[in-house]
Structure 1
Amino acid sequence: MRKHIVLILICLVTAGWLPAQNRYELNSGWKCHPLSQTKDRGENISNPSYSISKWKNAVVPGTVLTSLLANKEIPDPFYGMNNEKIPDIYDTGRDYYTYWFVKDFQENTPVNGEQIWLTFRGINYSCEIYLNGQKVNKEKYEGMFLRKTFNITGLLSKNGKNRLAVIVYPPDPVGKPNGGQGGDGRIAKNVSHQYVAGWDWIQPIRDRNTGIWDKVYIEKTGLVNLKNPHVITLVPGKRIPGDKQDEAVLKVSAELQNAGNAKISGTLKYEINGDIVTQKVSVDANSEIEVSMPDYTIKNPKLWWPSGYGNQDLYKIKIEFVDESNQKTQDFEIVQFGVREIQTEWNSHTRSKEIYVNGQRIFIKGGNWIISDAMLRFSNERYDAEIRYHRDMNLNLIRIWGGALTERPEFYEACNKYGMLVIQDFWFSGDCNGRWLDPLKAEDQWTRRKYPDNHGLVLESAIDMIKMIRNHASLAMWCGGNEIKPPVDILLPLRDTILPKLDGTRWFIDYSNSDEWSYNFLGGNGDGPYTIQPIESFWEKQTWPFNSEVGSVGVGDYESLLRFIPKENLIAPRYNPDAKFKEDVDPVWTYHTYSGVGYENHILPYGEPTDIKDFAMKAQLVNYNQYRALIEGFSSHMWEWYTGTIIWKTQNPWTSMRGQMYDYYLDPNACLFGLRKGSEMIHIMCNPVTKQTMVVNNSFEPLNDMMLVAKHYDYAGNETLLTQEVLYMEASHSKKIIPLQKQLEEKLKEDGGFLYLQLLDRNQKLVSDNFYWYPNAKGEYTGLNKMNKTEIKVTSRIAASGKMEISITNAEKGPVAFFNRIAIVDSKTGERILPAFYSDNYISVVPGETKNITVEYTPQPDVTPKVVVLGWNTEK
């Protein structure tokens, strides 16, 4: 019996079962072949007797390029200049990347009314589907954002051996990658993503991501197929996280499709908290209906909260349809959801939206998200790691940018888990869709304003995508497009009919920098800036009250650069005031979109870089300061100037150098840890202009009997206590505490120095600390370059599988151990173990102090982790 159980579990894993009903994924064993090398028709190719022995292995889900890469027919397009070695579809023509995909699978002819369904969760861009010599899709199937399900019961082979053949055609037109945002813009004539023709943070994807890019699965049901269940939760009043809660309301509905030739009556039901909720229903032959079930009152519900504010509790229910004639379950779906309610209000003081969750106002600290992988190589593990990094940055929202796609359910599952609210854009951008004059675009503004060509397909796709993701607690808002509204005949039905009917619980904003979101009283486009700023500007220069895009930098450290830049091109940029972007930059760096990120004047105060390693280290100093100052500046004016901000951007789907907190390989840089520090729920900080100390309390509870301690350290390590004061503070508030300008000016004048802030509770437990480094009166960090070396003691232990605890202790006498980068590496290869999640990094340790760091990672067989610490004035 034990052997049989193990065998069953192995079969379930290898077949790719999904967490719903009798369903399995077709995710291996595919073959592919270019259209240009065969003239055979789909009826022939899909016949199991047709020979595909000379066809190549295919990656599904995947694209043509991912299959070519897996077969080593192209080089890695993310490394060096390799992308230039791959033919672009604009030059080759669409047939070059038009491919057949074939999958043989075992499925016996069903009995007793069982129905077999074939579902595609995403193809790009259009396709013809054949099964066992017969065409499956009688009507045209096109559009990147459209699921399609086909009843294949009558098409299955009697001997159980079946062949599925799919020919996938690229978008049309493919667009010319001429260096513009979205190339010449014509890629937007399709209902698909736009970045594939190139953007200022990515080079063109040569096949425009043609392929069966999302999951394909087989599903077995009875005569009634239960589809698109919908769960709504209503949480009235203003709630506080905790064990005892007032009641909440659960509203559940589902679609029922009768594939039989006779009416079927039965009961739609689910169970929750030991109660069974039912609704009797009849479904006519060959028809489909939507059924709403009685509202259910959840007593003392466990609520879902954004990260930092409370738990991310989730419920799971099994919704099933039971045939009254035989009491058998015809079909069921398992739905996971969180009990929470999203609301918005207009703040008339800031002139921007405020977001509420369960009645509580949330100050938004968000990041703009493009896509997990530019070649659509998605995985649950990568989604989990990326969203966890966002949680670890103390962010509470992610915005899905409109030039990419509707994110996958697995993305939303990770956001549910880690407490990330999500704004989901629809598929428009100001660049391609005609907001501005642009000489690089092939067609004029008025023409581009009508993109895509097929408005009906846009609405059909929107309806389907809304149904796909609407049950997720993390989904908080819908946005019509990036920096532009959809055309009016798309916008109005989407806003006034489709969303109210299919959802009706979330805020819809017409476009990302709309005055309805954040009133643009300063002029301009309503977002940015996108370059490195003097850190003072984040505190003292007012920008849009809910800025949808602000930020830019993110060059990784030396180890990160090594992964995608050939050694001969690892040449540090050099300051040149006469150059276009005031820097001389290696062309490989330029290809990976370094140019224009603006490090030039911000690294020089630390001293001109001596080599690439020195440049990368000093870039991390700039990165840390930029993002700590950015989020601190916005937080310092919480509810006064701002109701939130969303950083452009927090991640890259390829090896770009623009705007990232971690690189494509999931290695975090100093941006992540500067942002993490500045975004703490309870945070102590100092205004770089006025040297006024401040405390930010993002929590729902006031702070009582807190102690603020401020110390100055010179570059020799000498300590001066500047102030120590008790403070009280209300909830969800920022407060100015003590000015330190006069005390610091004299101490920083010659060589600069350090400011160490601590916030302690009544038990003298550390609640927040912050470590600033300051230049001298001329704005130069001369003191840093004069610092003596100091010896640190590093200890580590494995606390649990995949968890390491590290302590770094600085000597009692001597200078600060400044800006230490901790990494865990494979002791054999020396390469970093990725992803790894650090409780803190790029840390400074004052004399006589110990800092404790926790690192979590996925253990690998035969890999022994080793700790490496590299600092400004410490030996490796």
Structure 2
Amino acid sequence: MIRILKIATFLLLTCLQLTAQQHSYELNSGWQCKALGSVKAAGEAISIPTYPLQDWLPATVPGTVLTTLLNNKQVPDPFYGMNNQRIPDIYFTGRDHYTYWFVKDFTETVPAADGQVWLHFRGVNDGCDIFLNGHRLNATTHFGAYLRQTYNITPFLNRQGKNRLAVIVYPAPVPGNPNGGQGGDGTIARNVGPQYTAGWDWIQPMRDRNTGIWDKVTIEKTGAVRVKDPHVVTKVPGQRWPGKLQAPALLEVAADLENASAKSCSGTLRYTIDGITVSKAVTIAPHASTTVQLPVLTLPHPRLWWPAGYGDQPLYHTTVAFVTNGSSSDEASVEVGVREIQTSWNTHTGSREVAVNGQKIFIKGGDWITSDAMFRFSKERYDAEVRFHRDMNLNLIRIWGGSLTERPEFFEACDHYGLLVFQDFWMSGDCNGRWVDPMKKDDQLTRRQYPDDHALFVNSIADQVKLLRNYASLAFWCGGNEITPPQDIFHAIKDSILPTLDNTRYFFDYSNSDSMSYNTLGGNGDGPYTIQPLAHFWHFRTFPFNSEVGSVGVGDLLSLQRFLPAQNLVMPDDVHHKTDSVWAYHKYIPYDTFHAAYGPQKNLEQWANTAQLINYDQYRALMEGFSAHMWDWYTGVIIWKTQNPWSALRGQMYDYYLDPNACLYGLRNGGTPLHVMYDPVEGMVEIVNNHFQRTRDLMLEVKAYDMQGHDTLLTQLFVETPATGVQKYLPLKRVVDGLRAQVGTFLSLRLLNLKKEVVDENIYWLPNANGQYSGLQQMPAAQIQLRARKAGAGTVAVTMSNPAGAPVAFFNRLSLVKATDKQRILPVFYSDNYITVAPGSSKTITISGAAVGDHPGALVEVYGQNVARQYVSIE
């Protein structure tokens, strides 16, 4: 009987899978391509299935022309060394060099009755003409990197089911001169597409300007009526609390319906959520489209969606379907996060304040360019990168305006991990005329009217709003990076598109505008963007909602070896700002004199390890300094920037290859929701509490450790901290300065609950009176004990123990490595890293991620400032 049930279940699941595959599938393999100059035939001929393709290249779709050339080994890896200089640039070759034909054969039969077959392109950069089985599908050339395309291909399918799709893709009309300016000579902004592809201060130019079918191509099969762009709005009135039984929320659902048939069609539009079905009878005229608003649903006891660090992120799955004659004509799946985002003006700080479900949220964000500079996107990479941001204790990602509207897979990851999204549209002050710039070809007034085609820009915005508006994580729209769009575009967005298509999200006119941060109340601008004394982040006041502030971000030696040739693995001379040419090409930001405080650096490995100490301190201080002034100076901060889509040597918490550096863990520490910290200027111990409840019954313990590991208890007391607030407790400057005066000291701050469990721990290494870390250079070796064991599928638990009477085991890097070559397994996720273990203490770190289970026999590596490198097998 059990066997029969298993077989029946298998057959049912197989049937369901086949049904899903038949409804919609992606054309993501088997493509071929050829450069325009080598093809003499027209599209009508090429798209006939019998046209010969013997000498065409295998093509990568989704992908750019450059990706296809790289995958066919016709160009070197532009992310390695100076290889990018060896690739011809479109500005000098002319656009035809990167104009390519792409061809895909696929099987699809002519549907029966009123069945329809649709072809969807989610993104082509920049223009294209499309042919199917000898027929041209688009009457005029399509333009616009961000404008989706849909074609009803039912009349053009071959009866025998064998079809050929042929697409010629044209580069942007104005590729721009990559002259080294921000966006090159700025003319890249005359197009409606990504601006960074002409180069920026963190990237070299992408030589094809990302020409290609860069996003998904899908075939969809429906009945006579197609469901388009469903729209779900959730409303959560009043003030709510995570983990509580909730009062009702409201759902407003609508969808566009298109009747492709020559006869009137009647049916029901409906969806079901949490066991409740909402529906409405609809009749659609022949060849007509209509928007249907369904009745408002009152959802009892909803499971609310919260930003990371404040609560859980439950998602409801629902399907909006049009049902006629007892069967579904078409349906669209939607993941719904029930939440409401509010904003208000904080008159004290002079900046925008954000609330979710009635609770104010201190914004801790990261600026994001895109996942990959060549648009090589994947759901897995998006998931890993967004997870890193969650692990940094951030709650918002801002999508910078010189790039793109991020893909649905990115927003799915943000929904899952609880990252709010601040989405810029495709403008930048550098290209679009905010400043006088000698690198730019045109004057400010001319650039102020970019792009050339305003109607295309407006239509693209309307389309992208429809694509992304259902994601719970999407919190804000923004006109552009540091500049508003031209007036006609701006008013179309503000007065027409958003009120009509998405009236639930606040619209910032530009990324550092007065509507976000009123910058005359004592703030001193955005930034800084380079390395700073730690005190700067605590006591130099910036914009009250700073959209861009950051520091350095070089990885360790293993990271550098991934993209720097051996002859270029040399220490930079930061004091004199003399840098190797390949480092300069990869946009290195100097560390100035900060390494010198740690003593002479003998080689690049030591230099890179010392850089991690500096990285950790920089980003811990940044987030602690802003948090210390929560609701007083600031309502939020966004770090410029948390990631690089190219192998750059600046501003990143992990490298392009998804290997984290100490920036990530310093930021994670400093952004802990309930966090104890030390102000290096005033010498005050403070606790910041991001939670909605007041903390009670916590013990604050402050100790100092000398270089031999001897400890001094400075204080121990019970503390309480107000909800979403900061509390100062102890002035310890005189005592701490005395302890560190000769060789420096370790300062350990801990919060303990009534069970003596550690709620938060923060260990500083403080320099001597002259600002030198002389004691670290003399520390005796620590003999840390390491144990690793499997703790579940895809999870390893590593316990690090430091015996009593030993010195502090300082700043240990954990890595999961292959047993064969000791190379790191990427990406994996560490619950913490660059870990310091006090004498007589132990810490357990979890390593998780899909890659953990892909390497049987993997080892755990650890090394620290005074801990020799060792490897341990996983039990």
Check whether TM > 0.5: yes
Aligned to 2:719: 727
Change (3 A) 1:11 1:781: farther
Aligned to 1:380: 379
Aligned to 2:638: 646
Pick from 683, 687, 693 the counterpart of residue 695 of structure 1.
Answer: 687
Distance 1:611 1:648 in 2: 29
Question: Is 1:774 aligned with 2:775?
Answer: no
Aligned to 1:808: 800
Question: Is 1:151 aligned with 2:143?
Answer: no
Paired letter, 2:583: W
Paired letter, 1:100: W
Aligned to 2:444: 445
Moved more, 133-142 or 22-31: 133-142
Paired letter, 2:205: P
Aligned to 1:590: 584
Retained in 2: the 8 A contact 1:522–1:543?
no
Question: Is 1:273 aligned with 2:297?
Answer: no
Question: Is 1:845 aligned with 2:871?
Answer: no
Give SS of 2:535's match: helix
Aligned to 1:873: 866
Aligned to 2:872: none
Deviations 1:176-228 (A, max 9, x none): 10000000001100000000000000000000000000000000011111100
Question: Is 1:864 aligned with 2:863?
Answer: no
Give SS of 2:791's match: strand
Aligned to 2:751: 759
Distance 2:800 2:618 in 1: 25
Aligned to 2:342: 343
Deviations 1:510-548 (A, max 9, x none): 000101100111799942110111110111111110000
- How do 1:436-475 and structure 2 match up within 5 A? 436-475=435-474
1:818 deviates by: 0.7
Give SS of 1:116's match: strand
1:110 deviates by: 1.1
Distance 1:333 1:292 in 2: 15
Question: Is 1:123 aligned with 2:117?
Answer: no
Retained in 2: the 8 A contact 1:243–1:302?
no
Give SS of 1:229's match: strand
Deviations 1:609-638 (A, max 9, x none): 111001101100110000000000000000
Distance 2:283 2:776 in 1: 77
Question: Is 1:254 aligned with 2:258?
Answer: no
Deviations 1:739-794 (A, max 9, x none): 11111111111111110000111222211010000111111111111111111111
Distance 2:403 2:29 in 1: 26
Q: Work out the number of aligned pairs and report it.
A: 864
Aligned to 1:798: 790
Paired letter, 1:328: S
1:857 deviates by: 2.5
Aligned to 1:530: 529
1:850 deviates by: 0.8
Change (3 A) 1:647 1:10: farther
Aligned to 1:579: none
Question: Is 1:637 aligned with 2:629?
Answer: yes
Distance 2:853 2:181 in 1: 43
1:672 deviates by: 0.2
Change (3 A) 1:5 1:152: farther
Distance 1:272 1:366 in 2: 32
- How do 1:181-330 and structure 2 match up within 5 A? 181-323=182-324, 326-330=325-329
Distance 1:63 1:835 in 2: 24
Distance 1:6 1:780 in 2: 67
1:266 deviates by: 1.4
Change (3 A) 1:688 1:25: same
Paired letter, 2:634: Y
Change (3 A) 1:25 1:7: farther
1:6 deviates by: 7.2
Paired letter, 1:592: H
Give SS of 1:800's match: coil
Give SS of 1:622's match: helix
1:273 deviates by: 2.6
Q: TM-score scaled by structure 1? A: 0.97
Aligned to 1:173: 174
Give SS of 1:583's match: coil
Retained in 1: the 8 A contact 2:523–2:543?
no
Give SS of 2:438's match: coil
Q: Calculate the aligned-residue CA RMSD, in Å.
A: 1.7
Distance 1:27 1:545 in 2: 46
Give SS of 1:499's match: helix
Paired letter, 2:100: Y
Retained in 2: the 8 A contact 1:16–1:27?
no
Distance 1:734 1:107 in 2: 63
Distance 1:497 1:32 in 2: 41
Deviations 1:441-478 (A, max 9, x none): 01110000000100000110000000000000000000
**% identical aligned pairs:** 56
Retained in 1: the 8 A contact 2:62–2:214?
yes
Paired letter, 1:643: T
Retained in 2: the 8 A contact 1:16–1:24?
no
Paired letter, 1:867: V
1:485 deviates by: 0.2
Retained in 1: the 8 A contact 2:231–2:255?
yes
1:811 deviates by: 2.5
Distance 2:15 2:51 in 1: 28
Paired letter, 1:690: E
Aligned to 1:426: 425
Give SS of 2:715's match: strand
Distance 1:246 1:871 in 2: 51
Aligned to 1:404: 403
- How do 1:458-537 and structure 2 match up within 5 A? 458-521=457-520, 526-537=525-536
Aligned to 1:600: 592
Q: TM-score scaled by structure 2? A: 0.97
Distance 1:862 1:665 in 2: 18
1:8 deviates by: 10
Give SS of 2:516's match: coil
Give SS of 1:574's match: coil
Distance 2:170 2:614 in 1: 45
Change (3 A) 1:316 1:588: same
1:53 deviates by: 1.3
Deviations 1:478-506 (A, max 9, x none): 01100000000000110111101101001
1:727 deviates by: 1.0
Change (3 A) 1:687 1:438: same
Paired letter, 1:870: Y
Paired letter, 2:337: G
Retained in 1: the 8 A contact 2:568–2:580?
yes
Retained in 2: the 8 A contact 1:513–1:525?
no
Aligned to 1:393: 392
Provide runs of 4+ in structure 1 moved above 3 Å. Answer: 1-13, 15-18, 522-526, 859-863
Paired letter, 1:295: V
Change (3 A) 1:408 1:243: same
1:54 deviates by: 0.9
Distance 1:525 1:464 in 2: 38
Retained in 1: the 8 A contact 2:522–2:541?
no
Aligned to 2:701: 709
Distance 1:509 1:656 in 2: 29
Moved more, 268-277 or 744-753: 268-277
Retained in 2: the 8 A contact 1:110–1:116?
yes
Pick from 731, 741, 747 the counterpart of residue 739 of structure 2.
Answer: 747
